[in-house]
Amino acid sequence: MQQYIDKAVEQFRTLITEQLARQNRMEAGEQAKDFANLPHLTIGICGGDGIGPIITHAGEDVLRFLLADEVAAGRVEFREIDGLTIERRTEVGKAIPDDTLAALKECDVILKGPTTTPHGGNLESANVAMRRELDLYANVRPTCVPELGIDWVFYRENSEGEYVLGSRGVEIPDKLAMDFKVTTDAGTRRIARAAFEYAKNNGKDNVAIVTKANIMKKTDGNFSRICHEVAADYPDITAEDWYIDIMTANLVNEARRSQFQVFVLPNLYGDIITDEAAQIQGGVGTAGSANIGDRYAMFEAIHGSAPRMIEMGRGDYANPASVLKACAMLLRHIGKAAEAEKLEKALAICNEKMNMTGRPGGNTCAEFAQAIMTEVEAM
C-alpha cells in the first residue's frame, strides 16, 4: 500500500507545481485580440466527423454569403482545416494531430463541426483538447425562448475545474480513487470578467454566480469570492449566489426562471446545466456555442456527429440550424452584429418554414442553407 501512497503523493506534487505555473502564466496575462478590428481575419472551417462536414459547409456557405464584401476586399479569408476526423485522430493517436493544430493556430476564429469521442481507450476528446490548446476559457451558451420570457446567457468556465486534470486522478486498486478539481484565481477572474462585461454591454442588471460552495469549500468557495470581487467593479449589476442544485430546479420553475439573465459557473456545472437549458429551448440540436479566448475563438453546434445518419445514407438531410446559430455568434464576435441579426431572423423564419425530418421527403441541409440566404436577401 505504501508504494501507492508514495506514488500518489509524488504525482500530487507534480500536479500542484504544473497548475501553479499555469495560474502564474494566466496572471501574467495576455493582451486580448480585438477580433472586431483586425485588418485581416482568417476563419478556419473544421468539418469534424459524421454529419459535421455537411452542416459545417452549409455554415460556411452562409458566412461567405454574409461576408462577401469583406472577402472580396481581402479582409476576411476562409481556410479549410481537415484532419480532425476520428480516423486521422485514431491513426496518429492524438486528440488533435500536430499539423491540424498548427493549421488551427494560424486562424483567428474557427467554425467547428461535431467530433466523435470514442468510448474508453486513451483518445482525449478533440473538443476538450482544442479548448485547452487554444486557451478558450469562456464557453458562452445562450438560451432564448421569447414566448416563455427566457433570455439566458451562460458563461461556463471552459479551461479548468473538473476538466483540467480529469484524466490524471490517482487510484489505489480495489480501494479508492481520487480526481482533482482545480480553481485558479486568475482563471476565475477572467471568466467572471467576461460574464460581467457581457452583462454591462448588453443592458443586463443581474448575474447569477452558480456553485456548490457549501460543499466544495475551497474551489467553489474561491470561485464565488472572486466573482464578487469582480462584481464590485460593476455597481449597476446585482451579483447573486446560487447553488447548482436549486438552480437546476429554478430553470424549470415557470414562476422564477424569467428573472435570470446571465450565469457564471465552473466547468462541470456549466456543462450539465447548459444541456438542461438547451432542452428547454427545444433540444441540444437547437443550441449554438462559443468558446472564447484572448487569441482565438471557436464556434460549434452542441449536438453530436450523428454517425447513424451517415450510415443510413441520410447525411444530406442533417439540420444545420445549430451550426448556423454558432455562425451568428461568430459574426457577432468579429463585429458583424447587423449580419448576425439578419442570420438569426432568417433562422427563426426557416425553422418554421422548412421541413427538416432528417430523411428523404423532408428538406435537405443544402436547401435549408439556400432558404436562409434567400430570406437574408429579401431583408
Q: Return the number of other C-beta atoms located less than 10 Å from residue 139's C-beta.
A: 25
Q: How many helices (H) and strands (E) does the chain have?
A: 14, 12
Q: Which of 58, 76, 128, 192 binds ligand IPM (CB under 6 A)?
A: 128
110 DSSP β-pair partners = 44, 298
Q: Which is nearer to ligand IPM, 50 or 336 (CB)?
A: 50
Query: Quick one: what does residue 109 bind among Mg ion, ligand IPM, none, with the CB cut-off 5 to 8 Å set by partner type?
Result: none
Query: Stretches 26-34, 124-132, 206-214, 238-246: which one binds ligand IPM (CB under 6 A)?
Result: 124-132
- Give the list of residues 6+ apart from residue 48 with CB closer than 8 angstroms, or none: 56, 84, 85, 112, 113, 114, 115, 116, 126, 305
Site string for ligand IPM, 101-120 (x = CB under 6 A): ----------------x---
Widest CA span of the chain, in angstroms?
73
Nearest residue to 301 (alpha-carbon basis) of 287, 315, 283: 287
Task: Choose between 49 and 70: whose C-beta lies nearer to Mg ion.
Answer: 49
Burial class of 52 by CB neighbour count within 10 A (0 to 12, 13 to 18, 19+) = buried
Tell me how far, at minimum, the Cβ of 296 lies from ligand IPM, in Å.
16
Among 61, 271, 316, 367, binds Mg ion (CB under 5 A): 271
Among 271, 316, 341, 367, binds ligand IPM (CB under 6 A): 271
CA-closest candidate to residue 301, choices 281, 319, 277? 319
DSSP reduced 3-state for 322: helix
The candidate with the shortest Cα–Cα distance to 251, out of 114, 141, 330, 160, is: 141
From the list 87-95, 121-129, 170-178, 324-332, the region that binds ligand IPM by CB under 6 A is 121-129
167 versus 374: smaller Cβ distance to ligand IPM: 167
Q: Crossing angle for the helix pair 365-378 and 321-333, nearest 10 degrees? A: 50
CB nearer ligand IPM, residue 167 or residue 253: 167
Counting contacts by CB under 6 A, is residue 124 touching ligand IPM? no
Q: Is 127 in the site for ligand IPM (CB under 6 A)?
A: yes
Of residues 48 and 239, the one with the C-beta less far from ligand IPM: 48
Least distance from C-beta 131 to ligand IPM, angstroms? 8
- The contact set with Mg ion (CB under 5 A) reads 271
